[in-house]
A = this chain, B = another copy of it.
Amino acid sequence: MLHFECDYTRGCHPEIMRRLAETNMMSTTGYGEDEFCESARAKIRAAIGNENAAVWFCVGGTQTNATVIASLLKPWEGVIAANTGHVNGHEAGAIEHNGHKVITLPHDNGKISAGALSAYLKGFYADEAWRHIARPGMVYISFPTEYGTVYSQRELDEIHAVCREYKIPLFIDGARLGYGLCAEGGDVTLESLAKSCEVFYIGGTKVGALFGEAVVFADKEMCPDFFTAMKQQGAVLAKGRLLGVQFDTLFTDDLYLKISRNAVDRAAELKNILRKKGYRFHIDSPTNQVFPIVSNEKLCQLKEQINLSIWEPHKDGWVIRLCTDWATSEEEIKELETIL
């Protein structure tokens, strides 16, 4: 079976595995206070050009989203997100479990717009009863989105400007950040993204690590107790250096972007193949996720040879999702071509 159902079916980049094995029998301090974490933090701070940033390492995405959001909101505040946002649909109510409403805005290919955000916020405070309603206390976007689309730098800037106007932080979920930074036609860089929000995370799990997400607060004074927040959420890894080693490797010699580019390149090849074969697309996604429309019959046939994701029903059958990742090879794409 070919695996194209998601971007976390494999382990980690071989160089990461090599370093994990190499350092395995070392003894270090726990909880992320080791030299590997320190080194990784320094490299990330350098990569974003912000020495004042605080960098923390969590294990997985849902945990990271819940911890960041819970650490910044007041109890009666909610987080604004696209209705397709991961925090809204696919985290088993983790945000609400932390006491906060996910306030949804309609999405456009997975994105929200500064205009819609501004209109919502203006309308909120115009309502006589606003003090009776969960307060918008943060904006959450994902980059790239759950549909594989990306914001342009201008779109990010506009959204960030609205946030600043209302004095609420912007949080960018970068579970697939690398793929977003390498998006076809994209103009956002790690450094520019880091300047366009108050907090974001650099996804490792889906981009070459065994697991791990690096949370970056632009201002280290924003949440000085974040370690305790993480601990309370069960997000502190005892052998924290495992995260340090991984992110240190990903941020050495530009590995993170190099392997991200591979995924986007393979996805571009895949889209070409699909296009040539006459498939139509549900959405034009410039990163590592591809959303062709297939008939019921075709779906049954494909499922026998490919692990894929069924995205949603479509009048002509189904939208499916095929993902490439940091390790997808040209050979795998060619093998896939023979089946499609």
In this complex, what residue of B is CB-closest to A6? B30
Partner-binding segment picked from A13-21, A37-45, A153-161:
A13-21
Query: Quick check: A24 and B12 within 8 Å, CB to CB?
Result: yes
Query: Quick check: B228 and A135 within 8 Å, CB to CB?
Result: yes
Query: Quick check: A10 and B25 within 8 Å, CB to CB?
Result: yes
Query: Quick check: B30 and A131 within 8 Å, CB to CB?
Result: no
CB proximity of A187 to chain B, nearest CB, Å: 29
Query: Quick check: A75 and B90 within 8 Å, CB to CB?
Result: no
Partner of A233, one of B8, B21, B94: B94
Q: From known contacts A134-B92, A228-B92, infer whether A29 and B75 are also in contact, taking CB-CB under 8 Å.
A: no
Partner of A76, one of B21, B29, B97, B101: B97
Query: Quick check: A17 and B24 within 8 Å, CB to CB?
Result: yes
Partner-binding segment picked from A105-113, A189-197, A237-245:
A237-245
Could you say which residues of chain B place their CB within 8 Å of the CB of A133? Answer: 89-90, 92-93
Could you say which residues of chain B place their CB within 8 Å of the CB of A272? Answer: none
Report if A269 contacts B (CB, 8 A): no
In this complex, what residue of B is CB-closest to A310? B128
Report if A216 contacts B (CB, 8 A): no
- Give a binary string over A123-135; 1 marks a CB under 8 Å from any B CB, 0 the rest: 0000011011111
Query: Quick check: A75 and B71 within 8 Å, CB to CB?
Result: yes
- Beyond A75-B97, A233-B233: 8 further Cβ-contacts under 8 Å? A3-B28, A6-B30, A11-B26, A11-B239, A62-B234, A78-B93, A91-B234, A132-B231
Q: Using a CB–CB distance below 8 Å, which chain A residues touch chain B? A: 3, 5-6, 8-12, 14, 17, 20-21, 23-31, 59-64, 66-67, 70-71, 74-78, 89-102, 128-129, 131-135, 205-206, 210-211, 225, 227-229, 231-239, 242, 307, 309-310, 327
